[in-house]
Amino acid sequence: MATTYAVLSEGLGKRFGTVHALRGLDLAVAEGTVCGLLGPNGAGKTTAVRLLTTLLRPDAGSARVAGHDLVREAAAVRKRIGVTGQYASVDGDLTGRQNLRLFARLHRVRGPADRAAELLERFGLTEAADRPSSTYSGGMRRRLDLAASLIRRPDVLFLDEPTTGLDPASRAHIWDAVRELKADGTTVLLTTQYLEEADQLADDIALVDRGQVAHRGSPAQLKALVGTLAEVVVADADSLEKAAAVLGRLTGGQPVSDHERHSVGAVTTDPTLTLPRLVREMDAAGLPLLDASLRPPTLDDVFLRLTGSTGDVDGTHTKEPAA
Ligand SMILES: Nc1ncnc2c1ncn2[C@@H]1O[C@H](COP(=O)(O)OP(=O)(O)OP(=O)(O)O)[C@@H](O)[C@H]1O
Ligand SMILES: [Mg+2]
C-alpha cells in the first residue's frame, strides 16, 4: 500500500524582510507517525510550524496537510489539526475546566463538559481543574495547552517545543501523551531542542539547518551516518601519539587526542572493528592500555557533525519566550 502523508511540503519558503527564515522546506510525514524537527536556534522550526498550521502564509512552495492544500483549503486544514506552541492560548483568569469547556463549545464538540472532564483526567489536572489556570505551574499549563489542542481530536498535531523548560516528571508526562496519541493514530510533528526527546519519540527526524532540511531519517539511520566512536585511554601522555596512529589505522577516522585524560578517540564505520580487536591491536603495539570503548553515537554527536553546532541537551539553555 502506498504511504499516505499527513504532511507533505515542497519548497516551502518564508522571508521576514531581509531574513530568509525558510528557504525551501521539503517535508514528508507519514500518517500515524511522529516526526521530530530538530535544529539549532533560528533554523526555522517555529516558522515551519506556523506555516504548516496556517498561522502564516508561505511566500514560496506548497504543502498538503491532512489531505488539504495549505493555502487554497486553509479552513479545511485548520479543522483537522491541533497546535500547541508558545502562542496556544489558555485564559489565565478561567479555571482549567472552564478553559477546556470554552474550547469545546467554540469548536462545537458534542458534550463539552464530558470532553473537558475526560481531558482533565487524562492530563492529571482533575484536582486542579477548578482553580484559575494562572495559578498552575509551568508543567500544568503546558498540559492544559496540550489538552486544549486535543479537544477536537485532531488528525495532525503540531507541538512546538512541548517540553522546553519542564522538569523531568512533567516532560515524561508529555512524552507519554505523545505516545498515546500516536497509538491512537494521530500524526504528530514536534520541534524540540532536546535530542533525547527526538530519540525517544520520533519515528523520523528532520534536521533543519538554515531554513532547509539538511538530513532526515530515523534516529538509527542518522546515527549510522555518523558511525561508532572508538576511544582508548593510555597510562601516560607519551603513548598518546602512538595510540592515535594505531587507532587511525583501525578506524580509518581522524583521531582526536585529549592530553589531560590521556585518551584518543576516532569515528569508524567499519563493522568489523570489535572491542576485543581494538584491545588486541593496542596491546600488540605495546601500548599501556587503561580503558577502551566502542560506543554508538548519540543524537548529540549526529547533531554536532551534521549541522556544525551544538544542540541544547543539557537543559541549562534558557529560551526567550516567543513574541
Ligand atoms: N516575525 C518575524 N520577523 C522577523 N524575523 C523573524 C520572524 N519570525 C522568525 N524570524 C527569523 O526567522 C529565523 C527563523 O526563526 P524561527 O523562529 O523559525 O527559528 P527556530 O528554529 O524556531 O529557532 P528556536 O530554536 O530559537 O526556536 C530567525 O532568524 C528569526 O529571527
Ligand atoms: Mg522556535
250 is a domain residue: yes
Answer yes or no: do 232 and 124 share one domain. no
Q: Which of 205, 223, 241 is the last residue of a domain?
A: 223
For residue 17, tell me if it sits in a domain.
yes
- CA distances 249 to 239, 244, 278, 289, 295, Å, are 16, 9, 11, 17, 18
Q: Which residues contact 267 (CB under 8 A, 6 or more apart)?
A: 226, 227, 228, 229, 230, 251, 253, 254, 297
Domain stops at, among 173, 190, 223: 223
Within-domain flag for 65:
yes
Q: What is the pTM of this model?
A: 0.81
Are 139 and 205 part of one and the same domain? yes
- Based on the domain organization, do 77 and 189 belong to the same domain? yes
Q: β-strands 187-192, 81-84: how paired?
A: unpaired
DSSP 3-state of 44: coil
Give φ, ψ of 123 to 5 degrees. -100, 20
Domain termination residue (choose one: 223, 257, 282): 223
Q: Which residue has the cell 479537544?
A: 151
Domain membership of residue 309 (yes or no) is no
Co-location of 200 and 114 in the same domain: yes
| 283 domain residue, yes or no | yes
In this structure, are 198 and 277 located in the same domain? no
Q: 25 and 149, same structural domain?
A: yes
Q: Tens place of pLDDT for every residue, the chain, 323 residues? A: 678 999 999 999 999 999 999 999 999 999 999 999 998 889 999 999 999 999 999 999 999 999 999 999 999 999 999 988 755 568 888 999 999 999 899 888 999 999 999 999 999 999 999 999 999 988 889 899 999 989 889 999 999 999 888 888 889 989 999 999 999 999 999 998 888 899 899 999 999 989 999 899 998 888 887 788 899 999 999 999 999 999 999 999 899 999 999 999 998 988 889 999 999 999 999 999 999 999 887 777 777 777 765 443 333 333 334 43
Cα of 272 vs centre of ligand 1, distance in Å, is 44
**Which alpha helices (H) appear in the chain, and where do they start and end?**
45-52, 74-80, 96-106, 112-122, 138-150, 168-183, 195-201, 219-226, 240-251, 275-284, 299-307
Split into its structural domains, the chain has a count of 2
The answer to whether residue 310 sits within a structural domain is: no
The rounded percent of the chain whose pLDDT value lies above 70 is: 93
- Do residues 161 and 233 both lie within one domain? no
Which three cell numbers, joined as nine digits, stand for 254?
Answer: 581522524
| Ligand 1 proximal residues by C-beta, below 6 Å | 16, 19, 21, 39, 41-47, 193
How do residues 108-150 score in pLDDT, each as one tens digit?
A: 899 999 999 999 999 999 999 999 999 998 888 989 999 998 9
Q: What is the domain extent for residue 112? A: 5-223
Statement to judge: residues 252 and 164 lie in one domain = no
CATH number for 147 = 3.40.50.300
| Within-domain flag for 74 | yes
Dist. CA 244–CA 247, nearest whole Å = 5
> From the CA of 22, how far away is ligand 1's center (Å)?
9
CATH of residue 239's domain is: 3.30.70.100
Q: Atom 29 (ligand 1): residue with closest C-alpha?
A: 42
Residues 108 and 128 reside in one and the same domain:
yes
The H or E element spanning position 157 is: strand 156-160
Ligand 2: centre distance to CA 262 (Å): 40
Residue 86 sits in the same domain as residue 181: yes
- 307 domain-assigned: no
**For residue 37, which ligand has an atom nearest its CA?**
1
Shared domain for 116 and 191, answered yes or no, is: yes
